[in-house]
Chain A
Amino acid sequence: MSTGFVVLWVILAAFPFVWTFWGSLKVQGDFFSRADWMNALTGPMTIAQTGAPFTGQGYVGAWIESGFWRNVLNTGIVVAATVTISLTLGTLGGYALARSGFRYAFWLLMIALVFRAMPHITLVSGYMLPFFEWNLWGHLPTAIIVLVAINQPFTLWMLHSFFLNIPKDLDESAMVDGCTRFQAFRHVIIPVMWPGVITTGLFSFLLAYNDFAVTAMLLSQENQTMVPKIASFLGSVQVEGNVMFAVAAVVSATAPLFVLIMVFQRQIVSGLTAGAVKG
């Protein structure tokens, strides 16, 4: 009985994605079939219109005609910059806080909690008018800075508790051997910190990649990232076939996440549970 339940859940969780991926290779007449949903599987309209059971029309339309490649590029820039900056600040800051002796843990946790609870859109509405006034609105660096700021308390808290678990003796013995504080960090701590950094980096990546509120409000039309672009596909296009652009774009945006889970499943699970076990 319980196995049956798990099977049902797996189907519920995975089926929508499989279905959409399959459907993205069809034409609109099949994916949204008036006659029979089986058409989406066999694709008679696709064969009639293109001569083959599968078509890349949606992808060509989205990536080339609608310029989706530019949004993919923007997402790449924003995500890479956000992850790099917040990890750099996070490791240095987290290490410093963990070794300073004073118990920052509580306050860090509080700030991280408050920031997690705050709807991002309320913060964005605070940022927006000043950004307009200072002519900062619409540029990629602005969005990156805001994302880093939103992300930073969480990153700091996570890396801070991770560094607390690395025994103090390790860097103290390095300093007894004549290292400076920075050399101890460089030669002793950096080699052992990667598991924590990778887990934290994954969550920063997901925050930046999945964000809609910040990127939709703070970026101008030509600087848009993928997610707001997909949302705007829906508002404007009602022409036959163009819904498939959005479907193809959605599948393209899901693919990196798919790979990410496949490679880093263990780290994601451990990161999700770390908060629960410790806090």
Chain B
Amino acid sequence: MFLFIALPIVSVIVQSLFVAHEQVLVTVENCGPFGCTQETRVDREATAALREAQPLGRFNGLGTYVNRSHLATAELAQAWQSRESLGQFLGQVMNLPFYRALAFTLSFTFIVTPLVLVLGLAIALGVNGLPRLLRGPTIFFSLLPMIVTPLIGSLVLFWMIDAQGVIGATLQILFDDPNLSLKASPALTWLTLFVYGVWHSAPFAFIVFYAGLQTVPAETLEAAMIDGATRWQRVRYVVIPHLMPLAVFITLMQLMDNFRVFEPIVGFQAQASATSLSYLIYSHLRGDVQQFGSAAATSVLTILGVAILLTPVLIRTWRDFNRKRA
């Protein structure tokens, strides 16, 4: 089992250091009745033989990491030197595929996560106030967006927001703009993806908070009521502190899940205006020529990102665990 985790990581690191072979070129002289011409051709057999012999490609060191489609150090330096304003520099950086994907991934992670927490808590409080009989069906319907395959869920929404689908058409009427399309502009696409993200993950926060609400001590709530706390004050000063550990847990899970956002981009066909790191890897592996080196380099950078994201959590868990044992 451990091998299955370690091996692919080793494999991507090794792969990321290589690039595909260049094609073997041969120069042939064609002599005809009107003199000789020199022609450069691709020697297909030799290229194939070379690829066969060394499937990894040739060694490229860190070259793949610094080229234009990854960290793009040369382009960055150039843009920085020729900058006229900070805005223009940022604009140029955002044109580089890796930074574009990184920007989307990070904004998705840090915008969706807090919204999910808030929405989940609101739903949990609402459901907790329902009569017992209605809670079961409510939970059933709430689970749907989360359990359903992410790709399918995003497709369902994608068809609805189509200019000819129900939500898209309604929005056009509301804003009185027959050309309004959620797919056309990058800003609206980002917004759509954020909304999808919240819709997809809110049930998870809801279920965890709802379970937590069942354990809020009734005496404390009653004491607060006797002291004259309003409903809002009770939530603010009794319920929320009680749910804090759960909020940490949900945040952690959501950070991890949102950082690898991938399926919605395929489902919403949003790659033109929003790509994530996962999507970059997917498209490298998918293209006409499979660029294993590129995909691997992006993978390594993504793994580093995950590591940075997880370090505080791991340290905290380690401390908790030691405290428990002590």
Contact = CB atoms under 8 A, between A and B. Distances in A.
Physical interaction between A and B: yes
Interface of A: 2-3, 5-6, 9-10, 12-14, 16-17, 19-20, 23, 31-34, 37, 40, 103, 105-106, 109-111, 113-130, 132-133, 146, 149-150, 152-153, 156, 206, 209-210, 212-213, 216-217, 227, 230-231, 234, 243, 246-247, 250, 253-254, 257-258, 260-262, 265, 268-269, 272-273, 275-277, 279
A17 B211 contact: no
A133 B8 CA distance: 14
A119 B260 contact: yes
Interface stretch (B26-34, B110-118, B184-192, B276-284): B276-284
B155 A250 contact: yes
B316 to A, nearest CB: 11
Contacts of B138: 6, 10
Contacts of B212: 276
Given A19-B160, A119-B260, A149-B4, 13 more contacts: A3-B129, A113-B313, A126-B296, A128-B292, A129-B56, A210-B149, A210-B150, A212-B151, A213-B282, A217-B286, A243-B159, A261-B143, A261-B147
A212 B150 contact: yes
Contact of A121 (B123, B147, B245, B281): B281
Interface in B152-202: 152-153, 155-157, 159-160, 162, 164-166, 169-170, 199
Contacts of B166: 19, 37, 40
B164 A33 contact: yes
Contacts of B162: 32
Interface string B117-150: 0000011011101100000101111111101111
B323 interface: no
Contact of B126 (A3, A210, A253, A254): A3
B306 interface: yes
B262 interface: yes
Contact of B123 (A6, A152, A269): A6
Contacts of B62: none
Please tell me the size bucket of the interface on B: 35 or more
Interface stretch (B9-17, B35-43, B66-74, B84-92): B9-17
B55 interface: yes
B221 to A, nearest CB: 16
A67 B249 CA distance: 43
A24 B321 CA distance: 51
Contacts, number: 234
A120 B313 CA distance: 20
B8 A250 contact: no
Contacts of B76: none
Contact of B259 (A32, A119, A156, A234): A119
A119 B144 contact: no
A121 B278 contact: yes
Interface in B284-326: 284-286, 290, 292, 295-296, 299, 302-303, 306, 309-310, 313-314, 317-318, 321, 325
8 contacts: A2-B126, A3-B126, A122-B299, A128-B285, A213-B262, A260-B147, A272-B204, A277-B211
Contact of B127 (A6, A14, A129, A231): A6
B246 interface: yes
Nearest to A1: B126
B204 A16 contact: no
B107 interface: no
B133 to A, nearest CB: 13
Contacts of B317: 106, 109-110, 113, 279
A216 B283 CA distance: 12
Given A3-B126, A268-B143, A276-B211, A125 B165 contact: no
